[in-house]
Amino acid sequence: MDLGDLRREYITKGIARNDLDSCPFKQFELWFAQAQQSEINDPSAFSLATANAAGQPTLRTVLLKLFNESGFVFFTNYNSKKGQQLDENSQVAMLFPWLPLERQIKITGTAEKISVEQSAKYFASRPRGSQLGAWISEQSDPLQSRKVLEDKFAQALQDLSGKDVPMPKSWGGYKVVPTSIEFWQGRENRLHDRFRYDLSGASDWGITRLEP
């Protein structure tokens, strides 16, 4: 299938250097709020790229659950493929593809586990079905059939009826501590606006305009 003619023009007015907050986290918060207000589907969804010690990459979609000026937090099974790769190589990349807004945000940095207490606090706030799903899932392991999964879920419903669902020891959060954050805004004729924040020192961020 030849997709060479599959294209559209970007029509937004773009962004200027003076439009940007000096703090990338505040700029992210602004764009995230605008993404929520636009009612696009799943604005907290992002692509997470990890790699093992040999450099073999893997990509998947996860959900952002918390962000502040210390980093961006998501949750997963630590024994999953992503968890295994993060044990070998903490370098990650994140991509928020807000295509209806003709925007994307790219983040690179390192991932580190958050505390058990922080993970437990979030786990307790999840819907019970999501808690049970995390309790029974051996994420990324081979599965014989859908029925096996549903049987495990039904058994957990029975075993834990009337009880709190314990947080699995293999489940918890990671915080991505960024070293660069890039804001991309589509423009006419593919002359897109791209601004990258780069960390210098402990908390100083420089801003560079990039070629489209």
Q: For residue 194, what are its two tokens? A: 């791209």
CATH architecture of 17-118+170-210: Roll (2.30)
Q: What is the average pLDDT across 61-69? A: 97
Q: For residue 172, what are its two tokens? A: 């918890």
Q: Using pLDDT thresholds of 50, 70 and 90, give the confidence band for residue 9.
A: low
Q: What is the average pLDDT across 76-98? A: 97
pLDDT digits (tens, 9 = 90+) for 100-141: 999 999 999 999 999 999 999 999 999 999 999 999 999 988
**Over 70: is that where the pLDDT of 11 sits?**
no
Q: What is the rounded CA–CA span in Å between residue 145 and residue 104?
A: 37
Q: What is the average pLDDT across 166-173? A: 97
Q: Which H or E run includes 82?
A: helix 81-88
207 forms bridges with which residues in the sheet?
Answer: 197
210 forms bridges with which residues in the sheet?
Answer: 194
Catalytic residues: 190
**Over 70: is that where the pLDDT of 60 sits?**
yes
- pLDDT on residue 13: 81
Q: What is the average pLDDT across 80-94? A: 97
Q: What is the average pLDDT across 88-111? A: 97
Q: Which of 102, 157, 86, 89 is CA-nearest to residue 128?
A: 157
Count of other CB atoms within 10 angstroms of residue 119: 20
Q: For residue 81, what are its two tokens? A: 């493929």
Give, in degrees to the nearest 5, the angle at Cα 57 between 63 and 146: 60
To the nearest whole percent, how much of the chain has pLDDT over 70?
97
Q: What is the average pLDDT across 86-91? A: 97
**Over 80: is that where the pLDDT of 209 sits?**
yes
Contact 65, 73 (CB under 8 A): yes
Rg value, the chain, Cα? 20
Q: How far is CA 59 from CA 46, 56, 62, 90, 115, in A?
A: 10, 10, 10, 14, 25
- pLDDT on residue 18: 93
**Over 80: is that where the pLDDT of 178 sits?**
yes
Directed axis angle between helix 128-136 and helix 146-159, to 10°?
A: 120
**Over 90: is that where the pLDDT of 12 sits?**
no
The set of residues, in sequence order, having a beta carbon less than 8 Å from that of 80 and lying 6+ positions away, is 139, 140
Average pLDDT, the chain: 94
Q: What is the rounded CA–CA span in Å between residue 91 and residue 76?
A: 17
The set of residues, in sequence order, having a beta carbon less than 8 Å from that of 152 and lying 6+ positions away, is 136
